């Protein structure tokens, strides 16, 4: 998290920021357990329930097993920043290996969530899509998801031939992080995950920030694309409280994206849908295999800022074009040459006389998957690809021969229905076998089950004013009336006070000019005089750290759906500062709230 600097705000304000960093917790979850989740010896059994209790900076360790989400719908809600989810642990939390100790997230078979998408998360791991509409501020910024298997098969409907039924199947990606507020999806990292069997994409995020990462992931048997980068955002630097997080940059390294189906609506099955000018992708040392459909490609829509280097392409349509075009500056839109003696940019933007440095060392090669994947499933996948002219028949026949399958022979050839079934689920009964089958023959390319793993502990949060609540005795009790201009008992600048207020609406604009407050870390709302409602001047600006106790309590009690819960007053504690904003209010104070009580 970036540090902010400011000139004189007052000595007490500086002291407030020097408070101890917010304490973050470590949680432990094991399927079937009944503990409180606060220690390895007492793990909780419900991952979705633990996520509801998490605060910013927490880390959640999850043991092997199957987790079915909120009410068995396969939904795991992310609404606080800097959260770390770590799967792949054995039952004792002694050893972590995500590709042996499978931590599986899926929906329970037969569960329906209805057709109203605003009442559901959409993805297995997701932000609530209706939070903004309800006046809540949620955030997945800084999220790390490491070591999970996300299986979409139980969200789909299949007919008696095994074909996926578009009508009735769930039409959302496995990881979907999209929020109306800026700063809600900054610098997200997905590592060592398996994402498959989805009637949509693997990963779909409103990318913000310059430090996003997808690494060592296996993404296959999905539709439209494995990864969607089209929502990459520029850095936000305008307006009070704004923070420049940089142009959205996503590094995709050592991933395998394979067997992407042509979608019935999108008419393509791709590896990565590139930013297309709205951000930057760094695509290195990945394996792309089998992208089906006339509009398909392994890396669709790459531009001059993107890096496509050291990747393996197999039956992707665009692979040969990228490899053949590596020595052509025009391949990445780099124009013209560079004057003699001029230095080449690192991961540069323009081309050179010999070609673009951003596109290099890619190869068309067989990673070996076709000979090892499940035979019945591969028979179906290739039969569909040839039958409906998604992939050239001669290519399909050559690959089918690796498993001893009969050639299709020609487009539209008569095949049994079970060899044409669209979107057929990849069997999940042998996950270790599936992992072995999809490890590429090329060393250092694609996902590797023996890749080094990071070690995680709860993050030490930055020293943010209001991140940590003190003891009640540390705050002087005042009344709302003490805040009016000239009040005899008015507080001092930066003083810790407690009083009763009415929580009012969230504010997206009219940010107070307090230099230590920023939109990345704080949510912004109004508080009013207890018992006074409507558009009155008896109110003032308040702030709470996103994902703190006060931030979470505001989302519960101050949102539009909770109107009236605090009308008669609720205790808040925090630090208060005089300000001239806003001019139309009687109360010229700003409060950084670190605790909100019960109504």
Q: What is the pLDDT of residues 76-87, one digit of tens each?
A: 999 999 999 999
Superfamily for domain range 472-596: Nucleic acid-binding proteins (2.40.50.140)
> How crowded is residue 330: how many other Cβ atoms within 10 Å of its Cβ?
12
Q: What is the pLDDT of residues 352-382, one digit of tens each?
A: 223 467 999 999 999 999 999 999 999 999 9
Judged by DSSP in three states, 591 sits in strand
- pLDDT value, residue 459: 80
Residue 418 pLDDT > 90, yes or no?
no
Q: How large a percentage of the chain has pLDDT more than 90?
A: 63
Mean pLDDT, rounded, for 439-451: 98
C-alpha pair distances (Å), 274 with each of 238, 242, 270, 455, 592? 26, 27, 10, 30, 40
- pLDDT value, residue 154: 95
Q: What's CA 38's distance to the chain center, in Å?
A: 25
Residue 233 pLDDT > 70, yes or no?
yes
Higher-confidence residue: 483 or 43? Answer: 43
Tokens of 513: 């000019």
Judged by average pLDDT, the poorest of 239-253, 274-288, 530-544 is: 530-544
Mean pLDDT, rounded, for 110-129: 77
C-alpha pair distances (Å), 12 with each of 9, 15, 293, 522? 8, 5, 63, 19
Tokens of 42: 């007492």
Beta bridge partners of 570: 501
- pLDDT value, residue 122: 87
Diameter over CA atoms, the chain:
92
Q: Where are the domains of the chain?
A: 75-111+122-158+171-239+248-333+445-450, 375-419, 472-596
> Mean pLDDT in the chain?
86
Residue 210 pLDDT > 70, yes or no?
yes
Residue 47 pLDDT > 80, yes or no?
yes
Any idea which residue has 């207020």 for tokens?
501
- pLDDT value, residue 327: 62
Mean pLDDT, rounded, for 488-501: 94
Tokens of 544: 């709470």
Higher-confidence residue: 341 or 408? Answer: 408
Q: How confident is the model at residue 117 (pLDDT cuts 50, 70, 90)?
A: low
Q: What is the pLDDT of residues 168-198, one digit of tens each?
A: 899 999 999 998 889 999 999 999 999 999 9
Residue 259 pLDDT > 90, yes or no?
yes
Q: How confident is the model at residue 11 (pLDDT cuts 50, 70, 90)?
A: very low
The answer to whether residues 445 and 254 touch, using CB atoms and an 8 Å cutoff, is: yes
Label the pairing between strands 570-578 and 495-506.
Answer: antiparallel
The answer to whether residues 426 and 221 touch, using CB atoms and an 8 Å cutoff, is: yes
- pLDDT value, residue 580: 66
- pLDDT value, residue 57: 93
Residue 151 pLDDT > 90, yes or no?
yes
Tokens of 165: 């039924």
Q: What is the pLDDT of residues 554-575, one digit of tens each?
A: 999 987 767 678 989 999 999 9
């Amino acid at each position: 998290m970036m540090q902010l600097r400011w000139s004189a705000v007052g000595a007490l304000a500086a002291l407030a920021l020097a408070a101890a960093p917010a304490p973050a917790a470590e949680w432990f979850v094991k399927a079937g357990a009944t503990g409180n989740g606060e220690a390895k010896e007492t793990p909780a059994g419900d991952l979705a329930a633990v996520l509801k209790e998490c605060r910013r900076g927490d880390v959640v360790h999850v043991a092997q097993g199957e987790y079915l989400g909120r009410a068995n719908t396969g939904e795991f809600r992310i609404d606080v920043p800097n959260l770390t989810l770590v799967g792949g642990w054995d039952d004792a939390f002694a050893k972590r290996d995500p590709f042996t100790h499978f931590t599986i997230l899926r929906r329970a078979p037969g569960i329906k969530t209805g057709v109203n998408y605003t009442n559901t998360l959409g993805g297995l791991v997701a932000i609530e899509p209706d939070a903004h509409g309800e006046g809540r501020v949620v955030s997945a910024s800084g999220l790390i998801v490491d070591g999970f298997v996300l299986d979409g098969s139980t969200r789909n409907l299949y007919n008696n031939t095994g074909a996926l039924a578009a009508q009735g199947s769930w039409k959302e990606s496995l990881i979907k992080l999209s929020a109306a507020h800026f700063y809600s999806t900054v610098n997200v990292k997905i590592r060592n995950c398996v994402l498959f069997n989805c009637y949509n994409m693997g990963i779909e995020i409103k990318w913000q920030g310059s430090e996003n990462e997808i690494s060592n992931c296996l993404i296959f048997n999905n539709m439209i694309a494995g990864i969607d980068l089209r929502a990459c955002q520029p850095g936000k630097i305008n307006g009070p409280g704004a923070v420049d997080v940089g142009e959205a940059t996503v590094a995709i390294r050592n991933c395998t994206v394979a067997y992407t189906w042509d979608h019935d609506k999108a008419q393509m099955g791709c590896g990565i849908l590139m930013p297309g000018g709205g951000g930057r992708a760094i695509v290195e040392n990945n394996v792309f295999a089998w992208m089906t459909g006339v509009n398909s490609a392994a890396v669709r829509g790459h531009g001059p800022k993107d890096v496509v280097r050291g990747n393996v392409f197999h039956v992707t349509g665009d692979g040969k074009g990228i490899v053949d075009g590596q020595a052509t500056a025009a391949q990445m839109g780099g124009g013209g040459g560079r004057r003699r003696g001029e230095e080449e940019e690192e991961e540069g933007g323009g081309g050179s006389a010999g070609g673009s440095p951003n596109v290099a060392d890619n190869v068309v090669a067989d990673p070996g998957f076709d000979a090892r994947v499940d035979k019945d499933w591969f028979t179906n996948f290739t039969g569909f690809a040839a039958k409906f002219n998604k992939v050239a028949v001669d290519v399909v026949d050559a690959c089918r021969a690796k498993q001893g399958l009969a050639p299709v022979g020609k487009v539209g050839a008569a095949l049994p229905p079970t060899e044409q079934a669209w979107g057929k689920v990849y069997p999940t009964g042998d996950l270790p076998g599936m992992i072995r089958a999809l490890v590429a023959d090329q060393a250092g390319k694609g996902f590797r089950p023996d890749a080094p793993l990071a070690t995680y502990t709860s993050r030490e949060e930055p020293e943010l004013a209001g991140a940590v609540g003190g003891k009640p005795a540390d705050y002087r009790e005042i009344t709302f009336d003490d805040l009016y201009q000239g009040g005899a008992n008015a507080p001092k600048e930066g003083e810790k006070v407690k009083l009763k207020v009415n929580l009012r609406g969230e504010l997206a604009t009219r940010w107070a000019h307090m230099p230590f407050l920023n939109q990345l870390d704080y949510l912004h709302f109004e508080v009013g005089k207890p018992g006074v409602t409507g558009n009155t001047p008896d109110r003032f600006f308040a702030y709470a750290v996103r994902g703190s106790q006060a931030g979470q309590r505001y989302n519960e009690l101050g949102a539009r759906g909770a109107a009236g819960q605090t009308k008669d007053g609720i205790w808040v504690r925090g630090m208060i500062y005089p300000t001239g904003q806003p001019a139309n209010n009687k109360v010229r104070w700003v409060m950084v709230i670190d605790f909100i009580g019960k109504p």
